[in-house]
Amino acid sequence: WRPKGLLVAHLHEHKSAVNRIRVSDEHLLFATCSNDGTVKIWNSQKMEGKTTTTRILDQKEDGCVVDMHHFNSGAQSVLAYATVNGSLVGWDLRSSSNAWTLKHDLKSGLITSFAVDIHQCWLCIARIRRLSMHPLSQSWVIAAVQGNNEVSMWDMETGDRRLTLWASSAPPLSELQPSPHSVHGIYCSPADGNPILLTAGSDMKIRFWDLVSPERSYVVAGSTSSPSVSYYRKIIEGTEVVQEIQNKQKVGPSDDTPRKGPESLPVGHHDIITDIATFQTTQGFIVTASRDGIVKLVKVMDRQFFLCCPCDLDQLLVIHVPDAH
């Protein structure tokens, strides 16, 4: 699967950085949360952006939302979110009431990301860039940390690091950080038993990682001036590493031919990409968000990556958090 970079929507409804994107299990809705104090729920087939409901949270008690997950328990469609004040809340979208509430002791640190077990039996919280469950190995988590665009997969049962993705010029698994760039968004799909990842972050690039055939990995979207890259697999101290390496550039004549017609909106972002997700209607889409409040939808021509049923992109609901200032 090689996703096409065809931009179909450029949304600027948020007034500040978008922290997370979450797609419902049925792909009927997706949610975005922002530093502007809102969580917006979107219907995935329409683009009108109409607000029908507003929910106000207590800024002093809960704080702004930093991460979200959605799961359907049959009787309830729950959007679980974590806040800067340590609240973990399960919000029942069908009744607009809380299904459950947990409280994290801030003495243990600020929650920046959390992941929910696919069977909804347990959740894991972290103080890292991003945390996600592995789609095939139930005891594995996928973690993005600071620097070198590093993403590692850890076995929670043994504590061992099993696989690392490394998009940096620094020696793999080294503590040196010549690249300050980090991954902020991860989307992982089993894709018929062959796990593939989409990652995005502070270098404003979207990368496709083929974990079965790493040499097929590539950059989906990024700066037009970005150098071409290749991907190689190696074993370092017992850990499998997939490393991105820049190819040698060939110097050639530049294309100064003027473009015909109006300039189109760029597929890539102009600020840090804060999250990435996918959903499927009659076609597949990649949805990304950035620190400047932009949400972009890119149409994908190949449906192999998408495993769930049709969904719907009209904004249905806004949760408003009063400004602390």
The contacts of residue 168 (CB under 8 Å, 6+ apart) are 147, 148, 149, 150, 177, 178, 179, 181, 244
pLDDT value of position 275? 92
Pair of tokens at residue 252:
């050639």
The answer to whether 10-116+280-288 and 124-249 have equal CATH topology is yes
- The three-state secondary structure class of 173 is coil
Tens of pLDDT, residues 253-286: 544 555 555 455 556 788 899 999 888 777 788 8
DSSP 16: S
Q: The tokens 């806040």 sit on which residue? A: 83
Please tell me the distance from the alpha carbon of residue 123 to that of residue 143, in angstroms, as a whole number.
14
Give helix then strand counts, H and E, for the chain.
0, 25
Please tell me the distance from the alpha carbon of residue 82 to that of residue 271, in angstroms, as a whole number.
24
Domain ranges of the chain: 10-116+280-288, 124-249
pTM beyond 0.85? no
Tens of pLDDT, residues 179-211: 789 999 998 886 666 778 899 999 998 899 988
Domain with residues 124-249, CATH architecture: 7 Propeller (2.130)
- The three-state secondary structure class of 65 is strand
For domain 10-116+280-288, give the CATH number. Answer: 2.130.10.10
Tens of pLDDT, residues 204-244: 988 999 888 888 898 887 765 667 889 999 999 889 999 99
- Please give the backbone phi and psi of residue 68, each rounded to the nearest 5 degrees, phi first: -145, 155
